[in-house]
Amino acid sequence: VSFGSYVGATAAGSMPTNTSGVAEDPAAQMLLRAGRASDTLSIKENYLQQGVYVLHGDADDNVPVSEAREMFKQLAAISHPDFEYYERPGAGHWWGNECVDWAPLMQFLFRHTLPEMKDMTRVRFQTVSPQVSQRDGWVRVLQQKKPFEVSSVDMVLDVAKQTVAGTTVNVKTLDLVVPITMPVSGAAAPATAPTQITVTLDNQAIV
């Protein structure tokens, strides 16, 4: 952001009664959005499908413990069903091999495995940039309507009914590779082959 834009925004915020309006530089806003790919809190709902263990020393002078506490608050706010938090009293950024081989953390990781594609009946995914992160399970976000804004996908697969239904936000192009197969008759036919499914996207049926 240019210094002039910063001064203008600061003045408008500091003296609202003396300012009738404030305009932001579109180019500056685009640059700000481009940096959101590293903003983990903007895509925090992605953590709902995996276990999260937060380990931090409360005397860390490199990465403030407030960062870990904020993550704790954010995970609790979205009712994350599977996260643990431990704050080591008196520990800094590095407190020996124990901090990388922390037994409760190792046990937590051993209890968790990646789901197989066929077992993913619901995909909830957010991305700020498909160039950085575009896929979760059988869903890929290829293009955004507005670059560098949060794009969201919430898709549900019903294997028995052979249907996929869901909603999108800020998604222009979407790719679905749904893990549904069905038997095919005939000696020369493969054991399984894709079947036709019905897709309902943003309340519009797609065959």
Could you read off the pLDDT of 109-158 as tens digits, one per residue? 999 988 888 889 999 999 999 998 999 999 999 999 998 899 999 999 99
pTM here is 0.73
In this structure, which long-range contacts are made by residues 186-190, counting pairs with CB atoms below 8 Å and at least 24 apart in sequence?
none
How far is residue 38's CA from residue 132's CA, in Å, rounded to a whole number?
9
How far is residue 59's CA from residue 16's CA, in Å, rounded to a whole number?
39
What are the structure tokens assigned to 128, written together?
């700020």
How far is residue 142's CA from residue 135's CA, in Å, rounded to a whole number?
9
Alpha-carbon separation of residue 14 from 4, 19, 158 (angstroms): 15, 9, 53
Q: Where are the domains of the chain?
A: 3-37, 51-110, 117-206
Q: How confident is the model at residue 180 (pLDDT cuts 50, 70, 90)?
A: confident
